[in-house]
Amino acid sequence: MIWRLRTRVLELDRPRLVGILNVTPDSFSDGGRFVDIDHAVAHARRLVDEGADIVDVGGESTRPGSLPVSVSEETERVIPVVERLAAEGMVVSVDTSKPEVALAAVAAGAEIINDVTGMRSPGMRQVASGSRAGVVVMHMKGSPADMQTEPRYEDVVTEVADFLEGQVRRLIEGGVSAESVVVDPGIGFGKTTRHNLELLAALDRLGRNRPVMLGVSRKSLFRSLAGIDDPVERDRISAVAAALAVGEGVRLFRVHNVAYHREATALAWAMVRGQP
Ligand code: HH2
Average pLDDT in the 51-65 region?
Answer: 94
Residue 1 predicted with pLDDT over 90: yes
Q: pLDDT tens-digit profile of 157-175?
A: 999 999 999 999 999 999 9
Closest ligand 1 atom to 63 CA: 21
Residue 60 predicted with pLDDT over 90: yes
| Per-state percent for the chain, helix, strand, coil, to nearest 5 | 45, 15, 40
pLDDT band at 83 (very low <50, low <70, confident <90, very high): very high
In this prediction, residue 26 carries a pLDDT of: 87
Catalytic residue numbers, as ranges = 219, 254
Residue to substitute in 16, 56, 138 for testing ligand 1 pocket (most ligand atoms within 8 angstroms of CB) = 138
Residue to substitute in 30, 33, 54, 61 for testing ligand 1 pocket (most ligand atoms within 8 angstroms of CB) = 61
Q: Phi and psi for 159 in degrees, rounded to 5?
A: -60, -45
Closest ligand 1 atom to 216 CA: 10
Q: Do 96 and 69 meet the contact criterion of CB atoms below 8 Å apart?
A: no
Average pLDDT in the 142-150 region?
Answer: 82
- Ligand 1 pocket list (CB less than 6 A): 20, 22, 24, 27-29, 58, 61-63, 95, 114, 116, 136, 138, 184, 186-187, 213, 215, 254
CA 189 to chain centroid, in Å, comes to: 12
The residue type of 175 is G
pLDDT band at 63 (very low <50, low <70, confident <90, very high): confident
Q: pLDDT tens-digit profile of 161-214?
A: 999 999 999 999 999 999 999 999 999 999 999 999 999 999 999 999 999 999
Say how many C-beta atoms besides its own lie within 10 A of residue 143's C-beta.
16
pLDDT averaged over every residue in the chain:
96
Closest ligand 1 atom to 188 CA: 10
In this prediction, residue 149 carries a pLDDT of: 82
Closest CA to 188 of 259, 241, 236: 241
Q: pLDDT tens-digit profile of 267-276?
A: 999 999 999 8
Residue nearest to atom 12 of ligand 1 (CA): 116
